[in-house]
């Protein structure tokens, strides 16, 4: 019977491709192959495109890597330079950029020349360079990876399933003489050996242990207090005195859909669950009722419903607490739908919803964040008001994206059968949304056309709605990479499109800075550095290190495409600095 160890023994002159959804265990499989090779003093070139060499080395040590002979383990860091991260000064590392496949080829060649003997190349993963370069990755596989294998080395690479065109994945598999498909199912990892140079096709199962995920809060408590006060008391509170509290929905969509495009399998589910958690008021480190004057707190205690099962109670809580918030934050025009609502099944209808506006008839429901926010709020408010513990969920049943004239959301205190399918967006739909978004943005940049403008609510939405997207990477390391890489890809696309239109470098830079200021990203100063005051990505949050993952990725991708420059964030308002700042390098 074939064992996992046999599959992980990649013979010389072989190119093994690992295929599977994000989170299936492809990176761990690569690490185990590296460990087995190092154990027999077989030199490794480890290419990282979704994390840095220090993260790879830490993961290897967690799995048992001890002291090794110098020169055995070497890295190509194709991550940090791509997203504007700190590039470590390591003698065992050569840097490259996912935007530029030739730079990865050159880095691998440098290390091969330095090592001077045959070994194994671990490439984790091809997803990032594929998303930047498209089908050019096929030429890279033929000219770099296959050539390396033909010269007596072993090569193992992985790729996320459904990250692009199906025909490209088929071509990648045909270029490989070993293919292993990996997936997880009910506490087990299934490895389907499609082909292998030393064994017949087979399938094996491996038990896996899932570690519990702990979510922490990174919001500034005073900032949250002000937002809650504005929402529940109708008090006008200005959070960003310099640029105002409303951000153009095009910028919010650029952040969100760049992340969705990068990881369509897991991103929507992670965002839904994290948003539900963060919007649950029982998770705050203060009682939100404390912002009310005493007489209103008394009225809440006496007359506010203790649970939201009945139609009359849900309508009451919606009309008193949520409808005013939708108006103040310019989210949508909303109404509770009495005609179809019933006990423990409630419907809310929205017109001109910011999440869906501008994406008519793309073929999917698009409202995800606000539905998750309200589900989390219902759960927390029931606990605070009546001590009831119920897990509310929400799913969009009608949507502008589906061709409907309005969006309509179903709320249920429990599981919803349609939710899982709703969260798992087809990659072709995501590409259509992203293409439509780029049309809007390039229309503004090149032809001064207005961005997505709603008849009633205009183009702005409150910064609170942006922050529920941009806070997610602070509690999930995977999302840090997704937002960084998604931002870099978006910046690269815009930079390339502007140059292709005939604009010069300086004009392209000027127009993108104008776009960011028009969208109220923050107050921007461009000189020897890029400075953004009141940056919407990190305003009202606290971190110990620079953490503007999307903005850094976006600036890095844009300036690399336009000026062949990289940037690095050196100051961040989340750290207490007066502004966020990026240095060129």
Instruction: Check residue 288 and give its pLDDT.
Output: 52
Closest CA to 572 of 561, 580, 582: 580
Instruction: Check residue 285 and give its pLDDT.
Output: 52
Instruction: Check residue 385 and give its pLDDT.
Output: 84
Q: Distance (Å, rounded) from C-alpha 71 to C-alpha 123?
A: 18
Which class for 179: exposed (0-12), middle (13-18), buried (19 or more C-beta within 10 A)?
buried
Cβ–Cβ < 8 Å for 77, 48: yes
Instruction: Check residue 211 and give its pLDDT.
Output: 47
Structural domains for the chain = 4-207 (3.40.50.300), 222-479 (no CATH)
**In this structure, what token pair is assigned to residue 345?**
């099944």
Instruction: Check residue 293 and give its pLDDT.
Output: 55
Ranges of residues in the chain with a pLDDT under 50 are 210-217, 286, 294
Instruction: Check residue 475 and give its pLDDT.
Output: 83
Q: Distance (Å, rounded) from C-alpha 11 to C-alpha 482?
A: 33
Write out pLDDT tens, residues 360-381.
Answer: 999 999 999 999 999 999 998 8
Instruction: Check residue 22 and give its pLDDT.
Output: 85
CB neighbours of residue 384 within 10 Å: 19
What SS3 class is residue 84? coil
Q: Distance (Å, rounded) from C-alpha 313 to C-alpha 334?
A: 17
Closest CA to 54 of 84, 93, 107, 103: 93
CB neighbours of residue 102 within 10 Å: 12
Q: Alpha helix (H) ranges present in 279-322?
A: 294-303, 311-317
Instruction: Check residue 212 and give its pLDDT.
Output: 39
Please name the residue that has the structure tokens 């990203």. Answer: 521
Work out the angle at residue 19's Cα, subtended by the Cα atoms of residues 113 and 75, and round it to the nearest 5 degrees: 25
């Amino acid at each position: 019977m074939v064992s996992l160890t046999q599959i992980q023994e990649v013979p010389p002159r072989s190119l093994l491709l690992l295929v599977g959804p994000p989170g299936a265990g492809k990176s761990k499989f690569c690490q185990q192959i590296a460990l087995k090779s190092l154990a027999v003093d077989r030199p490794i070139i480890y290419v990282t495109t979704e994390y840095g060499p220090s993260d790879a080395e830490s993961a290897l040590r967690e799995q048992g890597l001890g002291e090794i002979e110098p020169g055995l383990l070497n890295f190509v860091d194709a991550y940090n330079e791509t997203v504007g991260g700190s590039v470590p000064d390591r003698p065992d590392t050569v840097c490259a950029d996912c935007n530029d496949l030739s730079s990865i080829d050159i880095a691998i060649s440098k290390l091969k020349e330095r090592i001077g003997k045959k070994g194994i190349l671990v490439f984790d993963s091809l997803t990032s360079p594929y998303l930047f370069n498209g089908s050019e990755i096929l030429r890279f596989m033929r000219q770099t990876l296959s050539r390396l294998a033909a010269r007596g080395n072993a090569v193992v690479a992985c790729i996320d399933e459904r990250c692009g065109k199906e025909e490209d994945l088929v071509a990648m598999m045909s270029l490989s003489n070993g293919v292993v498909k990996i997936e997880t199912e009910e506490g087990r990892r299934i490895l389907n050996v499609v082909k292998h140079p030393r064994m017949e096709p087979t399938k094996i199962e491996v038990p896996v242990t899932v570690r519990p995920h702990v979510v922490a809060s990174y919001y500034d408590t005073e900032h949250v207090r002000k937002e809650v006060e504005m929402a529940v008391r109708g008090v006008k509170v200005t959070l960003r005195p310099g640029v105002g509290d409303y951000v153009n929905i095009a910028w919010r969509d650029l952040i969100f859909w760049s992340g969705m495009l990068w990881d369509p399998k897991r991103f929507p589910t992670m965002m839904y669950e994290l948003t539900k958690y963060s919007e649950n008021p029982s998770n705050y480190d203060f009682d939100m009722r404390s912002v009310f004057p005493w007489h209103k707190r008394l009225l809440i205690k006496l007359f506010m419903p203790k649970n939201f099962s009945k139609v009359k109670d849900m309508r009451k809580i919606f009309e008193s607490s949520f409808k005013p918030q939708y108006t103040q934050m310019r989210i949508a025009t909303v109404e509770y739908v009495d005609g179809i609502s019933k006990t423990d099944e409630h419907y809310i209808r929205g017109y001109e919803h910011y999440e869906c506006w501008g994406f008519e008839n793309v073929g999917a429901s698009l409202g995800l964040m606000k539905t998750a926010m309200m589900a989390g709020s219902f759960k927390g408010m029931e606990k605070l008001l009546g001590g009831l513990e119920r897990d509310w969920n929400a799913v969009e049943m009608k949507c502008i994206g589906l061709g409907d004239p309005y969006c309509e959301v179903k709320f249920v205190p429990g599981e919803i059968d349609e939710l899982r399918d709703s969260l798992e967006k087809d990659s072709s739909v995501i590409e259509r949304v992203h293409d439509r978004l780029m049309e809007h943005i390039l229309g503004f940049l090149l032809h001064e056309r207005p961005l997505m403008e709603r008849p009633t609510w205009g183009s702005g939405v409150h910064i609170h709605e942006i922050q529920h997207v941009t806070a997610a990477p602070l509690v999930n390391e995977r999302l840090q990479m997704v937002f960084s890489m998604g931002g870099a890809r978006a910046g690269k696309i815009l930079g390339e499109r502007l140059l292709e239109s005939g604009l010069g470098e300086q004009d392209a830079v000027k127009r993108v800075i104008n776009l960011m200021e028009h969208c109220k990203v923050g107050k921007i100063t461009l000189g020897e550095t890029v400075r953004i005051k009141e940056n919407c990505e990190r305003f009202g949050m606290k971190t110990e290190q620079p953490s503007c993952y999307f903005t850094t990725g976006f600036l890095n991708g844009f300036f690399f495409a336009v000026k062949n420059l990289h940037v690095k964030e050196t100051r961040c308002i989340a750290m207490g600095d007066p502004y966020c700042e990026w240095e060129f390098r």
